[in-house]
Amino acid sequence: MKFSLIVCIVWLFTHTVSVKSQETIAFTATKGERNGPYISYHTMLANSSAKFNPLYGVFMCTEPGLYFFTFQILSEKDSDLRVSLRTNRIPTVTAFSGSKTSYNMASGTAILELEVDDIVYLFIEEGDFYESRQVNRAYTSFTGYRIGSAASDESGGGGFLSSIMGRKTSVAATTGAVNNIGPDVGKTSDSEIDTKDNIYNLLNTNNNTNTQINIDINNRNTTKL
């Protein structure tokens, strides 16, 4: 009887862990408003178990694995736009929209291997973006979802992002250059932590990651699109 009870408890525990690992983690945030070099989002189209801070547009990983991210953002008519998708202050994908005579869309996509407490967000590196004042229209969007488990580190896996972050030592606490192999001399490369990125201090100040924000898009001095 005792053996059967132990077997049941073990089965329930493993089943619970298995169900948790299969839990859908996904989000889509739209209707952006500039917040310094970061983007605040007025609308969450979907949020399934995702830890997301709409004030700074930050997704925080709570379940390790492979994640898919995609974003789009519209440049202002009179401004070039350069925006990067960042992980723990490291630019991973950069999109550029170059035109000072018309509105142009910048977009990017990435599959990232994340660990618990890794953060992913958009960072405006240059220029400005436009968001419509129409309630049912949004030109800024940020989407992410977990697509599966990550490769085991036993075979030296982990991918490029893991290697430049020094997974076996520290991730969030790492500072300074890791592997300066970027093509832009004198600029933050794709493998270098941007020490001017203040996102961790901002998140520590704003601890409520799911707080609702009130963005007054109608006050933007731009033409309706």
Q: What angle do CA 53, 171, 33 make, to 5 degrees?
A: 25
Residue 208 confidence (pLDDT)? 52
Tell me the per-residue pLDDT of 136-166, one tens digit each, with 9 for 90 and over.
888 899 999 999 987 754 444 555 555 555 5
Residue 102 confidence (pLDDT)? 78
Top-tier CATH class for 23-216: mainly beta
Residue 139's CB is within 10 A of a number of other CB atoms, namely 19
The answer to whether 148 touches 63, Cβ cutoff 8 Å, is no
- pLDDT average, residue stretch 210-224: 39
- Residue-range domain boundaries for the chain: 23-216
For the cut 90, the answer to whether the pLDDT of residue 111 exceeds it is yes
Q: Report the predicted TM-score, pTM, of the whole model to 2 decimal places.
A: 0.70
Residue 27 confidence (pLDDT)? 98
